[in-house]
Structure 1
Amino acid sequence: MGIPKFFRWISERYPLTSQLITPNSIPTFDNLYLDMNGIIHNCSHPPSSENDIHFRITEEQMILAIFAYIDHLFTKIKPQKVFYMAIDGVAPRAKMNQQRSRRFRTARDTREKQEEAERKGEKLPEEKAFDSNCITPGKLHPSFQSSRR
């Protein structure tokens, strides 16, 4: 969810945090902190696939894309001391309820888009589409559910 106006506050207080860098002049950094939410989200369903009913990505492809992006950032920044990846834990109950309703709406919209494409006679890919609902708060991936009981 983020901290309201935090980016603005930090940018005004420390203007070099928003400084544009070129590949030839990357300064030395002691620390690299990554918020994995944006990385996972963008690698699991890239912006180009937003409303594309034909888009398919396997879990393996998504994980490889995440690793490749982290590797890209790490090799560009080359942190000297700390490399920190922040991954969200369990969300508050209100957010879980909000996400649950969003999951149901997304599933319904996807089903409607598939039915519309089939009515138009479009050929959909045979492989199953990646279910991005498995990376939302409050939903455990099936491979973890059996081990936690």
Structure 2
Amino acid sequence: MSRSVTVPCNALLDITFFGQAAQEGETCAKTQGVNIYSIGLNQTEVPVWESFMEQLLHFHRKNPTYDGRFLVQRYPIQEPLVTPKSDTAYPHRQIKMHISNIEGRYTDPYIEDPVNAFLHESRHHFQLSSGFDKLAV
């Protein structure tokens, strides 16, 4: 029995967010700013995660109009690794965890630069302990 499901591109957000993306109605609104950073990890360093959560709390206190998401997907890699490279186009099959959304959402355009700087720096810190020599997304 296969657990793989093909999802059409126009349903990807809704499937990824368990039906919440379409219900919110803000994702594509003209006044809604959304910045998304992602990264693949091969290992988990608890102090890095703790530090990120502390920095996120501090950032939110400084920018109360910031609304963010943090989506993590973790799964075994045995099956992807036994699939011959010639049978797939999926890169970085050795990734054990995706932080698929370090996301910033806001309606105040004045916090766009601070949001981008925070998300970029956060992804960089995860990358340093990711278990990969280069950024894997």
Q: With structure 2 as the length reference, what TM-score do the two structures score? A: 0.24
Greater Rg by CA: 1
Structure whose residues are more often strand by fraction: 2
TM-score under structure 1 length normalisation = 0.23
More helix by share: 1
